[in-house]
């Protein structure tokens, strides 16, 4: 337990210095301002204000950014002398992974608070009541956990620090840009429609939007929960397996 705390504190003090925690705050704030100021008057979101519409996507994107830095960190822990030394210490082999995930969770909470905070100023509201608010937070954090586990598995598997986060850049862009997070499905060409509608980023952002507004369909919640749980299970297994690989 103390090893977990020590490693998490190590990551925290490191990322305070390499500015990753600052980026955790700036990314959602910057993205939200960028989307709102640039696209707010261009995209028709019906009765919903654009801040109310776009914040869920900003949060999801911040979680994806977090995953990219996790891939870096996992690759570094795998390859660096530091990581090798960790494997010669009398600590359980899963502790470094657990510490990276704990850091992801902390980073996700910070990003969630920062993004929601700035959107609040522009009129975003959580209007669904306490139960919906709790679900809102749970979904954001479990999505963050899921993508971080996947990125961790990738970073641990890949032999280079430089390429692991680069590899994640493309899927991240595709999932965010081709989703209903920035603009409604009607704005996309018809042939893209099935992908745009049912991919996880669209589903999760739509559910978050519903939870914030207090209107949620059972089916939507079920699909989002299924996405989150499936990703958690699959990526979780992968990440654990990567840690077990010994030569």
Which residues make up the interface to other proteins (CB under 8 A)?
2-3, 5-7, 9-10, 13-15, 17-18, 80-82, 84-91, 246-247
Cβ distance to other proteins smaller for residue 98 or 141: 98
Tokens 């103390």 identify what position?
Answer: 2
Distance of closest approach, residue 139 Cβ to other proteins, in angstroms: 32
Phi, then psi, of 34 in degrees rounded to 5: -60, -55
Distance of closest approach, residue 100 Cβ to other proteins, in angstroms: 13
Rounded Cα–Cα distance for residues 206 and 179 (Å): 10
Cβ distance to other proteins smaller for residue 89 or 113: 89
Q: Any residues with CB less than 8 A from the CB of 32 and at least 6 apart, and which?
A: 51, 54, 55, 58, 115, 118, 119, 122
Cβ distance to other proteins smaller for residue 89 or 229: 89
Phi, then psi, of 195 in degrees rounded to 5: -65, -50
Cα atoms in the 13 Å half-sphere on the side-chain side of 158: 22
Distance of closest approach, residue 20 Cβ to other proteins, in angstroms: 10
Cβ distance to other proteins smaller for residue 11 or 202: 11
Cβ distance to other proteins smaller for residue 2 or 41: 2
Distance of closest approach, residue 246 Cβ to other proteins, in angstroms: 7
Distance of closest approach, residue 245 Cβ to other proteins, in angstroms: 12
Neighbours of 25 (CB within 10 A): 18
Q: What tokens appear for 56 in the block?
A: 């869920």
Phi, then psi, of 123 in degrees rounded to 5: 105, 0
Entry field: residues in the chain:
247
């Amino acid at each position: 337990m103390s090893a977990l705390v020590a490693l998490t504190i190590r990551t925290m003090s490191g990322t305070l210095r390499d500015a990753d925690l600052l980026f955790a705050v700036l990314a959602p704030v910057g993205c939200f301002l960028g989307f709102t100021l640039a696209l707010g008057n261009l995209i028709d979101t019906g009765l919903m204000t654009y801040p109310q519409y776009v914040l869920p996507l900003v949060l999801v994107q911040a979680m994806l950014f977090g995953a990219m830095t996790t891939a870096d960190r996992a690759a570094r822990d795998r390859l660096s002398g530091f990581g090798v030394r960790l494997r010669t210490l009398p600590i359980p082999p899963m502790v470094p992974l657990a510490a990276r995930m704990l850091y992801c969770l902390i980073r996700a909470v910070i990003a969630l608070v920062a993004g929601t905070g700035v959107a609040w100023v522009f009129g975003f509201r959580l209007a669904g009541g306490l139960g919906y608010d709790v679900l809102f937070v749970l979904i954001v954090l479990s999505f963050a956990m899921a993508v971080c586990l996947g990125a961790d598995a990738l970073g641990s598997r890949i032999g280079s620090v430089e390429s692991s986060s680069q590899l994640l850049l493309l899927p991240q862009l595709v999932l965010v840009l081709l989703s209903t997070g920035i603009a409604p499905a009607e704005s996309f060409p018809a042939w893209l429609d099935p992908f745009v509608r049912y991919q996880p980023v669209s589903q999760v952002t739509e559910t978050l939007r519903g939870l914030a507004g207090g209107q949620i369909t059972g089916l939507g919640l079920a699909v989002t929960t299924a996405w989150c749980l499936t990703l958690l299970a699959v990526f979780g297994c992968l990440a654990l397996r990567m840690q077990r690989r010994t030569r």
